Structure 1
């Protein structure tokens, strides 16, 4: 009887992002560990590392409030972050394609003499490095495509649903500000200043 194959890191990242988008709330690590295992099949002891990888990639936000760390993910921000990342990677790939084309031309020129010259060897080396870098960047692009909200289109139902979700998050932000004022005596304007909330922050129309 074969053993059940565990989830890959990318599968865990995708499932944890789904959890954030489905719950639309703020969470502490312990809460995510419990829900991740119960609802998404992510082993609780791995949730912390998966969460940190998403924070490092700017997919999930985190802030320390009082003595606790809270984590959340805005669908709209996640979309923009992935689009920026994909755009950057696409530009890098285009640059590598140009380098590859240049190296191909140099390689053709180098082969004319059919001699194993130092220049030809260097061109071959550069070409191999360019191909390896292109493959690496393409793999990176595929990784972000797996997390693209388009993959979760049925759940988010396009731009209109994302807009509604953003407005619900706006409710959450106002709720947190109200909670912080009641709990810690922190004024809303101080929270805006400390956490970079724009002065015109409001619901989307």
Structure 2
């Protein structure tokens, strides 16, 4: 008798475990399935609900998880599939089949319009492509012209490189270089003035001679103004 009870308990535990595994592997509802089932609540009852009512009904009758009820309901409100009106401190929700039918009809009309526009756009693009192909057929004459065009482009690149090579002989470039040299020479003269001024000050202040100052600061013996 005792062994029979043990066996029965083991079978019971095994059965419960099997049911648990099956339920855990059961695929949950997608977001769209939840929306569809929630709309069924409104269509089947044709009543007005508060959020707390939906949170009680949806899990029991439609298998929608309690945690997702509010999110699903709000998505339906955002899509104008469910009406929402605030009365006092509470929100009331409702949706009737007639409105849903009109909403689907409007949506279908919008999609038809978009489809027509896309179709017309496609036709326009195809016409533009066909028009652009005119005169570009693969003929011997076109192939010859393309080859000649490529040769001319290569020749142009070669001449451009050659012109760049002799750019230094350009009078405008030479004049620009001359002006740059004048500016540089003026700058050198200013720095030369500064060096001689500092040397003069050092000689008066410390009594150093030129040779000592030049050696201390690395000034060449032939340091002087540029001609």
The TM-score normalised by the length of structure 1 is: 0.52
Shift of 1:99: 0.3
- 2:101 is matched with which residue? 79
- 1:24 is matched with which residue? 46
1:134-168 residue CA offsets vs partner (Å, 9 max, x unmatched): xxxxxxxxxxxxxxxxxxxxxxxxxxxxxxxxxxx
| Inter-CA distance 106–14: structure 2 relative to 1 (3 Å threshold) | same
Shift of 1:63: 0.6
Out of 35, 46, 55, the residue aligned to residue 68 of structure 2 is 46
Unmatched 5+ stretches in structure 1: 116-205
Does 1:5 find its partner at 2:27? yes
Unmatched 5+ stretches in structure 2: 1-20, 139-227
Distance 1:100 1:111 in 2: 17
Larger RCO (alpha carbons 8 Å, 6+ apart): 1
Shift of 1:68: 0.7
Shift of 1:114: 7.1
- 2:85 is matched with which residue? 63
The within-5 A match list for 1:30-179 is 30-111=52-133, 113=136
List structure 1 segments (4+ residues) > 4 angstroms apart after TM superposition: none
1:181-205 residue CA offsets vs partner (Å, 9 max, x unmatched): xxxxxxxxxxxxxxxxxxxxxxxxx
Distance 2:93 2:55 in 1: 12
SS in 2 for 1:94: helix
Distance 1:94 1:44 in 2: 42
SS in 2 for 1:48: helix
What count of residue pairs does the alignment treat as equivalent?
115
Distance 2:133 2:28 in 1: 49
Distance 2:81 2:118 in 1: 26
| Inter-CA distance 108–4: structure 2 relative to 1 (3 Å threshold) | farther
The structure richer in helix per residue is 2
